[in-house]
């Protein structure tokens, strides 16, 4: 039997498909690890033991009967609690959705399940995906497996930490301003945010509709590629999903091993400026040198509107959030206040009790942004800035095939270090928001450890529908380094 | 001063439910009348994570309505979110259109007391309907979401309407158009056609508009007329007393016959409109527009022109026939089956419509008297087989017994006696029996009616009156009038 500590998802699936081990045994090992280790880490909001074992048995039965159990046969996955799962409580880590059991399945999780993957349970996150540290979860924070005093990043902190600690073989999350890549960087795993519309948002609880990107987490680049290949594709239930055929992501990840001859990598001057942690800068520069040694040509590029990215992002995401969160009113599902004498009081008390501080802050900001007479001054202007930021990338991609940057200006920070100051927290997204605004793919992978033993993330950004070049560059770096083989102390237990 | 010192200014917002199979953004049925909350799905209930997907059938209906009203159709437009909190609104916003409606401009044409009227439109836009609150016992309310997500066209007029009566006629014309196009059933009582009115007064001749009140809850043509009439009087008496009209929304109470304040402008919503990010821009191609233009049916006012022109009907008759496209289609079918148009119009208006409970019944397949059957009856009158009076009786039996005119005439021996030899014999007998009256006919030609009546009685009502008249005039030496 395989030791699942540090195991890759595709290796586990290959073994199940070949009959070398049973999906049920793999799943039981993960369930056992969750039972032993998760109380200290807090990755899972809900563990669906019976459901996971049932799915695993079905995979084994298919394999035994000679039917194709799917490309992800028996791969135990953790599901960010933003994805609706039929019959399994889905809360977005919010008190306002406590007890909500969706009667439908998100397209992404449905496709993963159909490919043989097994959902272990629901992972912790910042409430409604609003945050960069998982400190905003109504269920309490998730701890970073590399150091329990540090945050795992956010909002998909549970997903990144669970993969890092081998509490699942892969995970899925969502990225609105960096919520896949920043926790992937802080936990030392691979996180991929694909092109907007590449993965359906149906059944993914909306935070900021025009910015929400579902995507995978993997221990390796190929693992993330394998998950994305299954999740991606046109969905008739999402009018913004895109029809282009899904690329050969796994093949692209493996092709990286053959070097990066002919690939031009852009390095944006605006991303290496004041405020960056020196250890992060040193590691990322060393990674870029490694990519050059792999055959890539390094070219300087400019993304001049980067300085507007954070302001633009917070105007758009708060406006859309204030709208998307209007439906939580206590009338149909989720939390409802115990006592209300009128409809208005029902709304006020239900929402006052059900939402945490950060959703409340963003609802108020968003309502302000959208109020009558100020649309042009705020939202309208933000949309124009967003276009400029996207144009920057288009111009840069005329001179390069992919762009490499740090993922986060700092490694994992300590609990409470930034949560007192929302603006400080918002700056954690400084390198990740621009690809969300432009809707283009970007991937984070580990490229080093600080002296304190905290991971450092390297971000590769591709043009629209350029997932393959992101996987190829990341695959090349992974093939030439061994950072991804380092396990956090928690995972080694 | 009185009402006559003011000019009445009315603009209407008419909501038309589109009769699509499924809802505008999801798959559950858009049909009316089901058990509460059985026509629902995760999308129209606004459950977390669900997304709208546009039903193109609703777009097609809106485009056809726009083309019929002469609007400019946008080849690219957007949906927008309109935010407010209400229990019947599942998402906390309604998906509507704001700065980019699908149709701009256009006009609704109709006749008021025979005079043609044109009311300009501001716009027509697409949106989703809300659910419905059902207030049960004191303090207990339920919500039925069957209606949530049913497609609506909102038709916004310019403030071109000048009386309550004209407002009601305008709404009738909108309903007629909707039914001609087959895009909805326009039933005000069931709420598939709803109307809000913006009403203001200004001193006759003034350039600026007065302050307007918005009137809601008018669910019949009569309500529209009565509510606006009441509101005009209310505003006139306020202005007469030198008071101001408050800008507010008022609800019509049909039981008490008054409008009542619902909310003032100060508490008006800020809808915080912004473009719906879950839906890409809506594109309608020139080729689609051309195809829709081609397939438009003959519209009410075009039909009216045809009936009063080439067909030769009176404006009154034409007006009745074009009011519903089923009536007009029935009439056209009777004419094309060979009945002369004026006679056909009389029969349709006086007999058919008097018996059809709902004019739309005339479009059904199971009609007691289908158009060719009526045409046959009209022809029997034309060729003298049936008198007009008998024909009405025959029609009644056709309607109730579902038999053809020929069958009834044959079975009952109802054909007119036009045989001149038989009539000649009866006429001679009657004249001979009344020598006194016969002698007075020369001096009093009206007396001939006495003889016609007597002969008719003798034939059991089946004698051809025209033939009897001719024979009697010859026998009595009376001049033909």
Which tens digits make up the pLDDT trace of A152-205?
999 999 999 999 999 999 999 999 999 999 999 999 999 999 999 999 999 999
* pLDDT surpassing 80 at residue A142: yes
Residue of B nearest to A82 (CA): B49
Q: Tell whether B280 lies on the interface with A, counting CB pairs under 8 A.
A: yes
* pLDDT surpassing 90 at residue A345: yes
Same structural domain, B398 and B438: no
Determine whether the interchain pair B51/A210 forms a contact, defined as Cβ–Cβ distance below 8 Å.
no
* pLDDT surpassing 80 at residue B460: no
Q: Tell whether B279 lies on the interface with A, counting CB pairs under 8 A.
A: yes
Q: How far is B273 from chain A (nearest CA, A)?
A: 7
User: What's the rounded Cα separation, in Å, for the pair B143 and A231?
Assistant: 37
* pLDDT surpassing 60 at residue B304: yes
* pLDDT surpassing 90 at residue A387: yes
Q: What is the mean pLDDT of residues B356-375?
A: 86
Q: What is the mean pLDDT of residues B153-175?
A: 97
Same structural domain, B238 and B310: no
* pLDDT surpassing 70 at residue B417: no
Condensed to tens digits (0 to 9), the pLDDT of residues A190-225 reads 999 999 999 999 999 999 999 999 999 999 999 999
pLDDT band of B443, cuts 50, 70, 90: confident
Asked whether A369 and A378 are in contact (CB, 8 A), the reply is yes
Q: What is the mean pLDDT of residues A77-102?
A: 98
Average pLDDT taken over every residue of chain A: 96
Determine whether the interchain pair A239/B85 forms a contact, defined as Cβ–Cβ distance below 8 Å.
no
* Alpha helix positions (H), B257-404: 286-294, 300-308, 315-322, 325-336, 341-346, 353-355, 371-382, 388-401
Roughly how many angstroms between the first and final C-alpha of chain A, as a whole number? 17
* pLDDT surpassing 90 at residue B347: yes
Condensed to tens digits (0 to 9), the pLDDT of residues B370-402 reads 999 999 999 988 887 787 778 888 899 999 988
pLDDT of residue B418: 62
Asked whether residue B293 is assigned to any structural domain, the reply reads no
> What one-character-per-residue DSSP string does B110-132 give?
EEETTEEEEEEEEEEEEEE---E
Same structural domain, B320 and B402: yes
Cβ neighbours of residue A179 under 8 Å, at least 6 residues apart? A125, A126, A129, A132, A154, A155, A156, A173
pLDDT of residue B415: 67
Of B250, B249, B197, B198, nearest to B224 (Cα)?
B197
Determine whether the interchain pair B274/A100 forms a contact, defined as Cβ–Cβ distance below 8 Å.
no
CATH number of the CATH domain containing B455: 1.10.10
Backbone angles phi, psi at B152, to 5 degrees: -125, 145
User: What's the rounded Cα separation, in Å, for the pair A210 and A205?
Assistant: 13
Same structural domain, B407 and B472: no
Residues of A whose CB is below 8 A from B46 = 327, 332
DSSP assigned state of A144: B
Asked whether B257 and B226 are in contact (CB, 8 A), the reply is yes
Q: Which of A104, A320, A343 sits opposite B42 (nearest CB)?
A: A104
The packing angle between helices B371-382 and B325-336, to 10°, is 50
Asked whether A157 and A125 are in contact (CB, 8 A), the reply is yes
Boundary (domain end) residue, out of B363, B392, B412: B412
Condensed to tens digits (0 to 9), the pLDDT of residues B231-288 reads 999 999 999 999 999 999 999 999 999 999 987 665 667 999 999 999 999 999 999 9
Question: How many domains does one find in chain B?
Answer: 3
**Exposed/middle/buried for residue B260 (C-beta within 10 Å: 0-12, 13-18, 19+):** exposed
Same structural domain, B407 and B431: no
Determine whether the interchain pair A202/B87 forms a contact, defined as Cβ–Cβ distance below 8 Å.
no
Choice between B423 and A271, residue whose per-residue pLDDT is larger: A271
Q: Tell whether B48 lies on the interface with A, counting CB pairs under 8 A.
A: yes
Same structural domain, B79 and B12: yes
- Quote the ipTM score: 0.96
Of B82, B81, B61, nearest to B73 (Cα)?
B61
Asked whether residue B29 is assigned to any structural domain, the reply reads yes
In A277-407, the DSSP E strands lie at 297-301, 402-406
Residues of A whose CB is below 8 A from B50 = 104, 202-203
Asked whether B164 and B224 are in contact (CB, 8 A), the reply is yes
The one catalytic residue in A132, A133, A179, A241 is A179
pLDDT band of B167, cuts 50, 70, 90: very high
Q: What is the mean pLDDT of residues A115-127?
A: 98
Q: Which of B45, B49, B278 sits opposite A84 (nearest CB)?
A: B49
Asked whether residue B82 is assigned to any structural domain, the reply reads yes
Sequence ranges of the domains in chain A: 9-303+395-485, 306-390
* pLDDT surpassing 80 at residue B333: yes
pLDDT band of B311, cuts 50, 70, 90: very high
Choice between A388 and B452, residue whose per-residue pLDDT is larger: A388
> What one-character-per-residue DSSP string does A248-260 give?
-HHHHHHHGGG--
Q: What is the mean pLDDT of residues A303-312?
A: 95
Choice between B403 and A354, residue whose per-residue pLDDT is larger: A354
Examine the residue annotation and report whether A155 is marked as an active-site residue of this protein: yes
Q: What range does the domain containing B430 cover?
A: 420-476
Determine whether the interchain pair B93/A326 forms a contact, defined as Cβ–Cβ distance below 8 Å.
yes
Q: What is the mean pLDDT of residues A245-251?
A: 98
Condensed to tens digits (0 to 9), the pLDDT of residues A437-492 reads 999 999 999 999 999 999 999 999 999 999 999 999 999 999 999 999 999 986 66
Same structural domain, B361 and B444: no
Tokens of B348: 């349709």
Roughly how many angstroms between the first and final C-alpha of chain B, as a whole number? 58
Residues of B whose CB is below 8 A from A92 = 48
Cα B247 to Cα B10, B215, B264, B265, distances in angstroms: 14, 11, 6, 6
CA angle B183, B43, B178 (to 5 degrees): 10
Q: Which of B52, B81, B274 sits opposite A375 (nearest CB)?
A: B274
Residues of B whose CB is below 8 A from A97 = 48
User: What's the rounded Cα separation, in Å, for the pair A99 and A91?
Assistant: 7
Residues of A whose CB is below 8 A from B270 = 371-372
Asked whether residue B433 is assigned to any structural domain, the reply reads yes
Examine the residue annotation and report whether A166 is marked as an active-site residue of this protein: no
pLDDT of residue A439: 98
* pLDDT surpassing 70 at residue A357: yes
Residue of A nearest to B279 (CA): A239
pLDDT of residue B471: 86
pLDDT band of A4, cuts 50, 70, 90: very high
Q: Which fold has domain A9-303+395-485?
A: Amidase signature (AS) enzymes (3.90.1300)
pLDDT of residue A169: 98
Q: What is the mean pLDDT of residues B419-441?
A: 83
Q: How far is B270 from chain A (nearest CA, A)?
A: 6
Same structural domain, B261 and B310: no
Cα B174 to Cα B65, B156, B168, B169, distances in angstroms: 10, 11, 10, 9
Asked whether residue B400 is assigned to any structural domain, the reply reads yes
Asked whether residue B305 is assigned to any structural domain, the reply reads yes
pLDDT of residue B111: 94
Residue of B nearest to A96 (CA): B48
Q: Which of B51, B92, B93 sits opposite A201 (nearest CB)?
A: B51
Residues of B whose CB is below 8 A from A104 = 42, 47, 50
Condensed to tens digits (0 to 9), the pLDDT of residues A389-425 reads 999 999 999 999 999 999 999 999 999 988 877 777 7
* Alpha helix positions (H), A381-447: 381-396, 422-426, 433-438
Same structural domain, B230 and B328: no
Q: Which of residues 354-393 of B touch A (CB under 8 A)?
A: none
Same structural domain, B38 and B143: yes
């Amino acid at each position: 039997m395989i030791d699942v500590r540090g195991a890759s998802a595709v290796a586990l699936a290959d073994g199940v498909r070949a009959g070398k081990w049973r999906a049920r045994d793999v799943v039981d090992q993960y369930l056992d690890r969750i039972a032993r280790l998760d109380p200290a880490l807090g990755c899972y909001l809900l563990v669906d033991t019976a459901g996971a074992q049932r799915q695993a048995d079905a995979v084994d039965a298919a394999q035994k009967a000679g039917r194709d159990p799917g490309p992800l046969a028996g791969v135990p996955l953790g599901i960010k609690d933003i994805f609706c799962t039929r019959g399994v409580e889905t809360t977005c880590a919010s008190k306002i959705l406590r007890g909500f059991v969706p009667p439908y399945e998100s397209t992404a999780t449905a496709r993963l399940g159909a490919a043989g993957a097994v959902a272990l349970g629901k992972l912790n996150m910042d409430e409604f995906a609003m945050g960069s540290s998982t400190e905003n979860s109504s269920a309490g924070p998730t701890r970073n497996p590399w150091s329990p005093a540090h945050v795992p990043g956010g909002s998909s902190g549970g997903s990144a930490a669970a993969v890092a600690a081998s509490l699942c073989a892969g995970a899925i999350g969502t990225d609105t301003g960096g919520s896949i890549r920043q926790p992937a960087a802080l936990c030392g795993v691979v996180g991929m945010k694909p092109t907007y519309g590449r993965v359906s948002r149906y059944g993914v609880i909306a935070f900021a509709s025009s910015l929400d990107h579902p995507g995978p987490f993997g221990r390796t680049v190929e693992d993330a590629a394998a998950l994305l290949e299954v999740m991606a594709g046109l969905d008739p239930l999402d009018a913004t999903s895109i029809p282009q055929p899904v690329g050969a992501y796994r093949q692209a990840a493996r092709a990286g091993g053959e070097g990066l001859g002919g690939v031009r990598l852009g390095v944006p001057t605006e991303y290496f400026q004041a405020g960056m942690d020196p250890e992060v800068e040193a590691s990322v520069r060393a990674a870029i040198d490694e990519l050059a040694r792999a055959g890539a040509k390094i070219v300087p590029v400019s993304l001049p509107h980067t300085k507007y990215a954070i302001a633009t992002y917070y105007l758009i995401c708060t406006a859309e959030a204030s709208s998307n969160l209007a439906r939580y009113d206590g009338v149909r599902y989720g939390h409802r206040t115990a006592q209300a004498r009128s409809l208005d009081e029902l709304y006020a008390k239900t929402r006052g009790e059900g939402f945490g501080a950060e959703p409340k802050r963003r609802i108020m900001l968003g309502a302000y942004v959208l109020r009558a007479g100020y649309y042009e001054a705020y939202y309208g202007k933000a949309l124009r800035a967003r276009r400029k930021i996207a144009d920057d990338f288009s111009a840069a991609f005329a001179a390069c095939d992919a762009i490499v940057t740090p993922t986060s200006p700092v490694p994992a920070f300590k609990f409470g270090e930034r949560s007192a100051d929302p603006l400080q927290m918002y700056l954690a997204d400084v390198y990740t928001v621009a690809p969300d605004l432009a809707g283009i793919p970007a991937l984070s992978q580990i490229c080093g450890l600080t002296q304190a033993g905290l991971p450092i993330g390297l971000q590769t950004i591709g043009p629209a529908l350029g997932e393959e070049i992101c996987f190829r560059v990341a695959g090349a770096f992974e093939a030439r380094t061994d950072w991804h083989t380092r396990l956090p102390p928690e995972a080694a237990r | 001063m009185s009402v006559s010192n003011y000019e009445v200014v009315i603009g209407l917002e008419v909501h038309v439910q589109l009769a699509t199979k499924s809802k505008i953004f999801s798959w559950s049925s858009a049909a009316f009348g089901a058990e509460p909350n059985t026509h629902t799905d995760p999308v129209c209930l606004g459950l977390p994570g669900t997304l709208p997907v546009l039903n193109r059938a609703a777009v097609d209906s809106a485009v056809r309505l726009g083309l019929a009203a002469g609007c400019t159709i946008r080849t690219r437009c957007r949906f927008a979110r309109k935010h407010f909190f209400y229990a019947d609104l599942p998402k906390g916003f309604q998906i509507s259109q704001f700065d980019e409606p699908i149709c701009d401009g256009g006009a609704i044409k109709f006749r008021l007391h025979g005079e043609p009227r044109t009311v300009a439109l501001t716009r027509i836009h697409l949106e989703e309907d809300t659910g419905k609150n059902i207030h049960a016992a004191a303090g207990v309310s339920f919500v039925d979401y069957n209606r949530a997500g049913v497609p609506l066209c909102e038709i916004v007029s310019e403030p071109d309407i000048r009386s309550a009566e004209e407002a009601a006629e305008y709404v009738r014309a909108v309903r007629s158009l909707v039914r001609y196009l087959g895009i909805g059933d326009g039933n005000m009582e069931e709420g598939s056609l709803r109307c809000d009115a913006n009403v203001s007064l200004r001193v006759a001749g003034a350039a600026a508009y007065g302050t307007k009140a918005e009137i809601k809850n008018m669910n019949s043509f009569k309500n529209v007329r009565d509510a606006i009439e009441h509101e005009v009087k209310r505003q006139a008496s306020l202005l007469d007393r030198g008071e101001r009209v408050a800008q507010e929304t008022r609800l019509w109470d049909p039981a008490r016959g008054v409008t009542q304040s619902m909310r003032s402008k100060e508490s008006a919503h800020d809808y915080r409109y912004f473009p719906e990010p879950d839906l890409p821009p809506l594109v309608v191609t020139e080729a689609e527009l051309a195809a829709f233009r081609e397939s438009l049916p003959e519209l009410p006012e075009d039909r009216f022109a045809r009936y009063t022109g080439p067909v030769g009907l009176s404006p009154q008759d034409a007006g009745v026939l074009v009011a519903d496209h089923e009536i007009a289609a029935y009439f056209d079918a009777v004419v094309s089956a060979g009945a002369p148009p004026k006679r056909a119009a009389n029969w349709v208006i006086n007999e058919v419509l008097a018996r059809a409970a709902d004019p739309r019944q005339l479009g059904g397949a199971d009609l007691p008297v289908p158009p060719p059957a009526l045409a046959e009856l009209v022809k029997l009158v034309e060729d003298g087989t049936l008198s007009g009076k008998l024909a009405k009786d025959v029609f009644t039996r056709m309607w109730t017994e579902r038999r053809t005119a020929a069958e009834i005439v044959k079975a009952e021996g109802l054909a007119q006696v036009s045989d001149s030899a038989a009539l000649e014999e009866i006429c001679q007998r009657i004249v001979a029996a009344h020598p006194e009256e016969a002698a007075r006919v020369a001096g009093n030609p009206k007396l001939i009616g006495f003889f016609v009546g007597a002969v008719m009685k003798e034939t059991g009502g089946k004698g051809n009156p025209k033939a009897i008249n001719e024979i009697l005039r010859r026998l009595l030496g009376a001049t033909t009038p």
